[in-house]
Structure 1
Amino acid sequence: MLCVAGAIVCLSLPALAADPKPDASVKNRSVEANVVLDSKIKADAALAADCLAEGRKWIDKNAADAADSRKQDPQLFKDGGWSFERKYSVRSVVDGRYVSVLRDDYVDTRGAHPNSDVNTILWDATDKKRISIRPFFTETSDDGPTMKAMLKAVIASLNVEKRKRDAGETATAEWYKELKPTLLKIGAVTFAPSTAAGKSSGLTFHYPPYAVGPYAEGQYVAFVPWETLKPYLTPEGTRIFGGTRPKGDEEQQ
């Protein structure tokens, strides 16, 4: 409020954006855990149900772990209960059918610092189910040509990002040793947006802190342009890829 000439004048201030209401939650003396779906996910009933079912299982497991830990060592909770939050958000939609979802987790168990994790979901909105990237490549065998080419491109992208952050390449070989030319060991993948409508410009691989660098470096995203993967694409892969990665996406991810 501002007082002018003996009168009280109320100046309107913009309202602060409220945190989104959780779509599933539990709160007790041991734990507070929430799951949040973004509006684009909620627009697809089948996808929303799938994410919410997974999220509720995650909440139940963490709540049970917290309760067990409190019984075993109540001192762990002297500063309060543990906190968990999982957010599901749409990263891209390709051909109106293939939806890339980011699943971001926040975890605070009263350790030295909170931790975060990131994983991904590829969703076929037509068949209403989760899929992998296998249908878009002629082969994805462990240590096969596709996966070797993909991993080489991932490491090259990570090295570029490390130089941007002045992280250098100190001990990068040690950090990258867990990355393997297999679908399960190369990283959590999404389809990158494109300047061409309805297309994907390539693949982005998402890594939480500690995965490919020290905690202080935070998360990393490696981008592999579709042209690098062109020799290995199936007809469906060739159909959905095209264009280039928007500059705004590179800056945000």
Structure 2
Amino acid sequence: MNRFGQGACALAVAVAIALAGCGKDEARGPAGADAQTPADAAPGEQAPAAAADAGLQDVIDTTPRYVVGISYPPAANAHPGLARALAEYAEHARAELLKAVDELGNDKPTAPYELSLAFDMVVDTPQVVAVAAEGSTYTGGAHGQPLVARFVWLPVQQRMLTVQALVDSSKGWQAVSEYVGDKLLEQAMVRAQSQEMTPEEQQDQVRNLSRMIAEGSAPEAANFAQFQPVMDAAGRIAALRFVFPPYQVGPYSDGTQTVDVPAAVVLPYVADDYRELFAGA
């Protein structure tokens, strides 16, 4: 089962309330959108940069065909570059949903298509700011598609921190891959042992998961693109929490998985520009 956190739960409640009270009202965009959206812009197509410059605003948009709920942390507005990245991510997800709605033509979905997306501030220090995005988009089928992303902003440098810039050597990713792969396999074995299966069935499940883990955590930067720092009491990075959406290293039923890699494992391979951010540097 996916775990979208308290922010996503609150967002779902807000969407439900909006649905209950919308009656015959027309779909609503972000609060104050009428004053900020150009007259020739179609509903739901406000430019991401304009939205970020005006300040991130929560979105509740309901129609008989779709529901959109997006929430932002107010503190992100203190960092315009970060705010712009969040707005662009949300707008892309919203555009994809509206595209799927358009493709219905005159048909009406059996259940409204839905986008639920919550951004939460998980780190907020003078040196490092991190935001977690969790949610899902539903366009038919048995369940929605998960949305999982992380944004790490460096206020002093005024730029986003990417894994490609953080660790730029194949040896570094080999070390991270080995550590993460071992931890994910341990977690898979614990889950298998907790289920009512025969030893043979457990072995088969672990064997299948080990193949997914090996592929999804192979030593390539792209496999570790979603990460957030874990800070110590002194405000330095004590570990990197790598985040793996459903399907990357396990089936949908396993949900989003994470592994914390200690600074001691990563630090030998961290680029010089970022070493001072880490504990033990």
**TM-score over 0.5 for the alignment?**
yes
Moved more, 113-122 or 148-157: 113-122
Aligned to 1:205, the other structure's residue is in SS state strand
Root mean square deviation of aligned Cα = 2.7
- Out of 159, 184, 196, the residue aligned to residue 158 of structure 1 is 184
Report the alpha carbon displacement of residue 146 of structure 1 after superposing the two structures with TM. Answer: 0.7
* Segment drifting more, 206-215 vs 34-43: 34-43
| Structure that is richer in helix per residue | 2
1:64 to 99, 108, 120: 99
Task: Tell me: CA distance 1:52–1:218, structure 2 relative to 1, closer, same or farther (3 Å).
Answer: same
Match of 1:38 in 2: 73
Give matches, 1:22-171, under 5 Å: 23-68=58-103, 70-71=104-105, 74=107, 77=109, 79-93=110-124, 96-137=126-167, 140-141=168-169, 144-166=170-192, 169-171=206-208
Q: Which structure has the bigger radius of gyration?
A: 1
SS at match of 1:165: helix
| 2:220 equivalent to 1:182 | yes
Give yes or no for contact 2:180–2:217 (8 Å, CA) kept in 1. Answer: no
Partners of 2:69 and 2:116 within 8 A in 1: yes
With structure 1 as the length reference, what TM-score do the two structures score?
0.74
1:41/1:48 contact within 8 Å kept? yes
Letter in 2 for 1:230: L
Q: Deviations 1:175-229 (Å, cap 9, x if unpaired)? A: 12133312112351111232x3211111111112222112222111011111112
5+ long unaligned stretches in structure 2: 1-9, 16-30, 32-56, 194-201
Q: 2:263 aligns with which of 212, 226, 247?
A: 226
Report the TM-score when normalising by structure 2: 0.67
- Give the secondary structure class of the aligned counterpart of 2:179: helix
Q: CA deviation at 1:83?
A: 0.6
Instruction: Please say if residues 33 and 63 of structure 1, whose CA atoms lie closer than 8 Å, have aligned partners that are also in contact.
Output: no
Q: Give the distance between the partners of 1:46 and 1:71, measured in 2 at CA.
A: 37
Task: Please state how far the C-alpha of 1:29 moved relative to its aligned partner.
Answer: 2.9
Decide whether the 8 Å contact of 1:122 with 1:190 is kept in 2: yes
CA contact (8 A) 1:26 1:59 kept: no
Instruction: Find the aligned partners of 1:64 and 1:57 in 2 and give their Cα distance.
Output: 10
Distance 2:137 2:165 in 1: 34
**What amino acid is the match of 2:116?**
E
Name the one with the larger strand percent: 1
Change (3 A) 1:187 1:157: farther
Deviations, residues 21-49 of structure 1 (Å, cap 9, x unaligned)? 96234333322122211233244444234
What is the alpha-carbon distance in structure 2 between the residues aligned to residue 112 and residue 61 of structure 1? Answer: 19
Count the aligned residue pairs.
Answer: 217
